[in-house]
Amino acid sequence: MVHDHDFKGHLHGDNFQISLVSHSQITRLYSRFTSLDKGENGTLSREDFQRIPELAINPLGDRIINAFFPEGEDQVNFRGFMRTLAHFRPIEDNEKSKDVNGPEPLNSRSNKLHFAFRLYDLDKDDKISRDELLQVLRMMVGVNISDEQLGSIADRTIQEADQDGDSAISFTEFVKVLEKVDVEQKMSIRFLH
Amino acid sequence: MFLLLPFDSLIVNLLGISLTVLFTLLLVFIIVPAIFGVSFGIRKLYMKTLLKIFAWATLRMERGAKEKNHQLYKPYTNGIIAKDPTSLEEEIKEIRRSGSSKALDNTPEFELSDIFYFCRKGMETIMDDEVTKRFSAEELESWNLLSRTNYNFQYISLRLTVLWGLGVLIRYCFLLPLRIALAFTGISLLVVGTTMVGYLPNGRFKEFLSKHVHLMCYRICVRALTAIITYHDRKNRPRNGGICVANHTSPIDVIILASDGYYAMVGQVHGGLMGVIQRAMVRACPHVWFERSEVKDRHLVAKRLTEHVQDKSKLPILIFPEGTCINNTSVMMFKKGSFEIGATVYPVAIKYDPQFGDAFWNSSKYGMVTYLLRMMTSWAIVCSVWYLPPMTRETDEDAVQFANRVKAAIARQGGLVDLLWFVCRCLEFLFCPGLGSESC
């Protein structure tokens, strides 16, 4: 049986926007969490994620899995799980409560972009270097393209985005390049109920 | 001091007779069919009876829960999120196809926002996918009278409790000893048989005998687990010079597959009973066992596997599962090397029916013996085996993509892809012999 106090205990004290997720949605995600948790110890490890077949064939699979785990840790509990998933709530839900003084919601446009930025930025130095860009490119396009071609694509991308001339893309430059892209729609997952 | 009770000798006689009868029954109904590979259909009948009992038990539970106003959760048959309708594999193919055109000015387009799609798809599949639905206690639609699967076992009615108690009695006092006896017979026959065959000179007769000894013993072990297996597409069974790759590799999977085909096993040398079995088996048939120290040396592993695969007269390889699951988080990036070796991969999907017993092996929680005991105290192991069409690596694929393609094919058919990383590593070795000292 799934009880209210299980969740309130996990989520108490966290950002108020997680509590905006409805009770039935939390129940379903908790059910999902437990079904992934084969070890039955209340936390997920990287193997638990890697067992999902579609995630295994996703080129960014490993990076996405890493996004769940805080720095240096190997286990994620339900609260951390929800926190990461909260980035993908549709932005319209925030219309219900506009708390100007509260912390910025996790699913704001800026935070969504930050999430994507972190997928590129492996060493967490707040810059996407040419090497990091090459790595992601290689993951996505496979082996068909030669190193030179890939290098030129990376160079072109950096050239277009780079404004302060450091041959790397900072977060502000990243946001600027994507200002016309409908981030809200592309990085949102809608619940059916 | 001896026979204090007047009818003690009677008891001894009865015991003797019943043991003899039991033994004869065992021999006739279980071992003889195993030798010849026929079946009396007893297990199927058993399964049907069990299903009827389970259905009754579930109805009773639901009625009881309604009376007491408890809530029984049903599985969520519709998805919980609105998914992007495009298929991930199609999209990947699209991106990669656009890069393979030869025209110089037709360089593939790439935007920083391209990752959004994969990111979202990944998140969607983490939240909800078709495949990873494990039946938790709340979601099990019918209760199979095992308290280990129904954590909320509450007292509903006297009849149900009695039934459950009867179930426990049957499973632990009747089925378990029977199964252990069978397992013992099977294993000792395997060790003795293969050792004896090992003394014969190499030749066709030896191979013939070896094959049948192996098959016979595995069939006995299958009966020891009361495994009811349905094979599909047997025309796609692995052939010589190929590799058999299955999902959910646990010791039981090996038994299930090896009882339907003659394989060369690959795995680590274990100590104890497993080691004895391994040493005996390798006398009759060229299995590939690695010492613990050898497994660390990737080149040695690769070399031996490659030699085996290239020899077309050798049996198809079946990779034996390992007990530990090493964390594999790095993304493999292989430079283009010389991919000369093309071994055919025969994917096999094994899907277990969770109603009769959960066959998942949590290797960090249970050792092998505990796991086997758990299996032997379940009602039965019902599974389906699909032999998928063979796959070979395409010229424009690297080893990781090929391994993922195989994974996807198996997942589509059988579901959960478990412990497959070890197999993928082996595939990587075979298809990237020029790996050298690149660290991954």
Domain boundaries, chain B: 158-431
Which pLDDT tens digit goes with each residue over B376-435? 888 888 888 889 898 887 777 666 667 667 767 776 776 555 444 445 555 554 544 443
Decide if B118 and A137 are in contact by the 8 Å CB cutoff. Answer: no
| pLDDT number for residue B406 | 73
| pLDDT number for residue A76 | 92
Contact B372, B180 (CB under 8 A): no
pLDDT higher than threshold 70 for residue B302: no
Q: Which residue has the higher pLDDT, B324 or A40?
A: A40
| pLDDT number for residue B431 | 47
The mean pLDDT value for B1-20 works out to 76
Decide if B331 and A54 are in contact by the 8 Å CB cutoff. Answer: no
pLDDT higher than threshold 70 for residue B144: no
Contact A120, A43 (CB under 8 A): no
Decide if A174 and B112 are in contact by the 8 Å CB cutoff. Answer: yes
CB nearest to B407's CB, from A56, A137, A157:
A56
CA gap B228, B237 in Å, rounded: 19
- Strand ranges, E, within chain A: 43-44, 76-77, 127-128, 169-170
Per CB-CB distance under 8 Å, the chain A contacts of B334 are 143
The mean pLDDT value for B262-276 works out to 78
Q: Which residue has the higher pLDDT, B55 or B102?
A: B55
pLDDT higher than threshold 80 for residue B127: yes
| pLDDT number for residue B138 | 37
Mean pLDDT of chain B: 71
CB nearest to A58's CB, from B88, B134, B362:
B88
Q: Kindly state the DSSP code that residue A191 receives in the 8-state scheme.
A: B
| pLDDT number for residue B394 | 76
Please tell me the distance in Å from A54's CA to the nearest CA on chain B. Answer: 7
Q: Select the highest-mean-pLDDT range: A182-186, B239-243, B298-302.
A: A182-186
Q: Whole-prediction pTM value?
A: 0.64
Per CB-CB distance under 8 Å, the chain B contacts of A153 are 107-108, 110
Q: Kindly state the DSSP code that residue A110 receives in the 8-state scheme.
A: H
Residue type, position B49, single letter: T
Decide if B398 and A142 are in contact by the 8 Å CB cutoff. Answer: yes
Contacts with A, B 329-368, CB within 8 Å:
329-331, 333-334, 336, 360, 362, 364-365
pLDDT higher than threshold 80 for residue B229: yes
Per CB-CB distance under 8 Å, the chain B contacts of A30 are none
Q: Select the highest-mean-pLDDT range: B58-72, B259-273, B361-375.
A: B259-273
CA gap A51, A54 in Å, rounded: 9
Nearest CA in chain A to B79: A192
A75 in contact with B, Cβ within 8 Å: no
Q: Which residue has the higher pLDDT, A43 or B324?
A: A43
Helix (H, G, I), strand (E, B) or coil at B199: coil
The interface predicted TM-score (ipTM) is 0.86
CA-nearest of B387, B374, B375 to B316 is: B387
Contact B286, B314 (CB under 8 A): yes
Which pLDDT tens digit goes with each residue over A118-134? 888 888 888 888 888 88
Least confident segment among B22-36, B182-196, B382-396, B425-439:
B425-439
CA gap A20, A98 in Å, rounded: 12
| pLDDT number for residue A26 | 82
CA gap A188, A112 in Å, rounded: 9
| pLDDT number for residue B4 | 60
CA-nearest of B315, B323, B310 to B262 is: B315
Element (H, E) at B345: strand B344-352
Computed on alpha carbons and rounded to an integer, the radius of gyration of chain B in Å comes to 26
| pLDDT number for residue B103 | 43
**Complete DSSP assignment for B133-160:** ----TTT-SS--S-TTT-TT-----HHH
Low-confidence ranges of chain A (pLDDT < 50): 1-17
Contact B157, B64 (CB under 8 A): yes
